[in-house]
């Protein structure tokens, strides 16, 4: 038996592709010719498999469009995180400002109530002051009447005509 190497242009092309892919080079195919196996005198050809015919798929990363798409997704996710953070901050500020507003309204209501109590107290004081003034005027009138009576009692009595005549 003789073995003959057959090299075709197709193998040359696959070698150039294989060198690009870094795959192992296929083994060349051998044709075995028996010398006198066929009674007609023609040679018998048997093909023996060399390299595997199924090549492994080439692993390809994302292309330009896919990278752009992935970049957009990443940007949108980052914006979503930022928006979520801003929303959380806004809700905290809203809750804090509503608490502050409630506290200020309570203080205002309490100060309004205190102001109303003070006004009511000042009205009562004004009424009491007016009644004290009136009472003071009455007491002055009574005092002046009492002084007048006292002055009459302490004043020398005028002598009547008969007393003046008698000498008394």
Check residue 112 and give its pLDDT: 92
Query: How sure is the predictor about 150, in pLDDT bands with cuts at 50, 70 and 90?
Result: confident
pTM of the model: 0.35
Residue spans per domain, the chain: 2-48
Residue 92 has pLDDT above 80, yes or no: yes
Check residue 50 and give its pLDDT: 64
Q: What's the mean pLDDT in 25-45? A: 60
Q: What are the pLDDT digits (tens) for 67-85?
A: 899 999 999 999 999 999 9
Euclidean distance between CA atoms 50 and 32, whole angstroms = 13
Beta-carbon contacts of residue 90 (< 8 Å; ≥ 6 apart): none
Of 160 and 139, which is predicted with more confidence? 139
Q: In 3D, which of 72, 2, 77, 70 has the Cα closest to residue 37?
A: 2
């Amino acid at each position: 038996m003789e073995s003959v190497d057959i090299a075709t242009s197709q193998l040359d092309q696959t070698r150039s592709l294989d060198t690009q892919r870094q795959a192992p080079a296929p083994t060349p195919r051998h044709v075995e010719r028996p010398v006198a196996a066929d009674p007609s005198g023609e040679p018998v050809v048997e093909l023996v498999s060399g390299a595997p015919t199924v090549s492994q798929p080439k692993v390809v990363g994302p292309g330009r469009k896919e990278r752009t798409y992935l970049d957009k997704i990443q940007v949108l996710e980052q914006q979503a995180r930022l928006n979520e953070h801003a929303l959380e901050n806004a809700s905290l500020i809203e809750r804090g400002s509503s608490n502050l507003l409630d506290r200020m309204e309570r203080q205002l209501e309490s100060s309004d109530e205190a102001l109303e109590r003070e006004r009511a107290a000042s009205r009562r004081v004004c009424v009491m002051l007016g009644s004290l003034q009136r009472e003071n005027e009455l007491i002055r009138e009574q005092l002046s009447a009492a002084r007048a009576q006292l002055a009459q009692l302490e004043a020398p009595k005028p002598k009547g005509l008969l007393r003046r005549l008698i000498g008394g």
